[in-house]
């Protein structure tokens, strides 16, 4: 099975608070969530293995009217990447 992004749905326009959720997989050491704008990483959060949602910090809502991408990596216990989700695209209103 793969890590699958659930919310925001692809192409969604989000209002604050911005909550990301995904379908996790068994046997992972944790997850890392990325939010990027073009080639710039805006947000990187390392989360526990039983976590499948994350509320973005309030400052992210300042990144309005641009196309943002997000994805989630499943990590092994040593922190290396086991697999990564497909990227999702969203905007902030």
pLDDT tens digits, 61-82:
999 989 999 999 999 999 999 9
- Predicted local distance difference test score (pLDDT) of residue 78: 96
- Predicted local distance difference test score (pLDDT) of residue 15: 92
- In CATH terms, the superfamily for domain 4-88 is Immunoglobulins (2.60.40.10)
- Six-digit token pair at 91? 């905007």
For 22-49, the pLDDT digits (tens) are 999 999 999 999 999 998 999 999 999 9
Sign of CA dihedral 58, 16, 34, 64: negative
User: Is the pTM for the entire model greater than 0.85?
Assistant: yes
What confidence category does residue 1 fall into, taking pLDDT thresholds of 50, 70 and 90? confident
Check pLDDT > 90 for residue 21. Answer: yes
């Amino acid at each position: 099975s793969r890590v699958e992004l659930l919310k925001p749905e692809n192409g969604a326009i989000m209002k604050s608070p911005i909550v990301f959720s995904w379908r996790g997989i068994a046997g992972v050491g944790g997850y890392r969530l990325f939010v990027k704008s073009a080639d710039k990483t805006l947000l990187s959060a390392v989360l526990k293995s039983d976590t499948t949602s994350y509320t973005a910090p309030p400052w992210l809502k300042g990144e309005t009217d641009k196309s943002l991408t997000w994805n989630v990596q499943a990590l092994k216990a040593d922190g290396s990447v086991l697999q990564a989700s497909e990227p999702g695209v969203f905007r902030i209103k």
